[in-house]
Amino acid sequence: MLKPEVSLWYNSKKSIIILLMEEYKTVRSNLKEILQILEQDARTTPQQIATMTGKSVAEVEAAIKKAEAEHLIVKYKTTINWQKAGEEQVWALIEVKVAPQRDVGFDAVAERIYRFPQARSVYLMSGTYDLAVLIAGKTMHEVADFVSMKLAPLEGVQGTTTHFLLRRYKDDGEILESGDTLHRQPLIL
């Protein structure tokens, strides 16, 4: 059995830890709310976020600055429908079979791939292939050259399969072309 002064000390330390944990959960919850708002619209101002969350503008600005410093906010991004803007782009999804390397697995090959400017996204995935690489180019020939001259010859790459994207309907959660128009036959009475 603990002496009363030790028990008091232990209970007060335990209370402080519980309070700190609760405060941490509240801060994380507030930050998550701010991040979700920015993810939906990166142009939302700290003043608007403060109004939406009930926080002060200073709290919102501090949270955003901290999230940027911790690399929680990686980039502010705009989704553009380049086809509608008259700028044709060829997109391809390339599945890459990789031989994992000792002590680093797939990471070393993935890093070499994501350093290419053509690689828009690189993902480790399960299934027959190990990596999925989304690339963009001006022509199919440019994409094919990238795959055959830069990607396929990389050490550790065992094979690739290229899928050309024919049309983008939705990108990063945003519908690019809405098919909401109803095609009805006229009714003649």
What is this structure's pTM?
Answer: 0.68
Q: What angle do CA 40, 43, 49 make, to 5 degrees?
A: 75
Give me the pLDDT at residue 82, please. Answer: 78
Residue 186 has pLDDT above 90, yes or no: no
Q: At residue 138, what are phi and psi to the nearest 5 degrees?
A: -85, -30
Report percent pLDDT > 70 for the chain: 78
Q: Which of 5-9, 67-71, 102-106 has the lowest mean pLDDT?
A: 5-9
Each residue of 84-142: pLDDT tens digit? 888 888 999 999 999 998 888 899 999 999 999 999 999 999 999 999 999 999 999 99
**What does the angle CA 116 – CA 118 – CA 120 come to, to the nearest 5 degrees?**
100
64 vs 185, higher pLDDT: 64
Phi, psi dihedral angles at 100 (to 5 degrees): -65, 145
Locus of tokens 């705009």: 78
Contact status, residue 116 vs residue 168, Cβ threshold 8 Å: no
- A 10 A CB-CB count for 107 gives 12
Residue 189 has pLDDT above 60, yes or no: yes
> Cα Rg for the chain, rounded, in angstroms?
25
Q: Dihedral sign, CA of 42, 47, 50, 55?
A: positive
What CA–CA distance (Å, rounded) separates 79 from 120?
A: 13
**pLDDT tens digits along 43-64:** 999 999 999 999 999 999 999 9
As a whole number, mean pLDDT of residues 10-34 equals 68
Q: Give the pLDDT band (50/70/90) at residue 6.
A: low
- Predicted local confidence at residue 14, as pLDDT: 65
Over the chain, what is the mean pLDDT?
Answer: 85
Question: Is 188's pLDDT higher than 80?
Answer: no
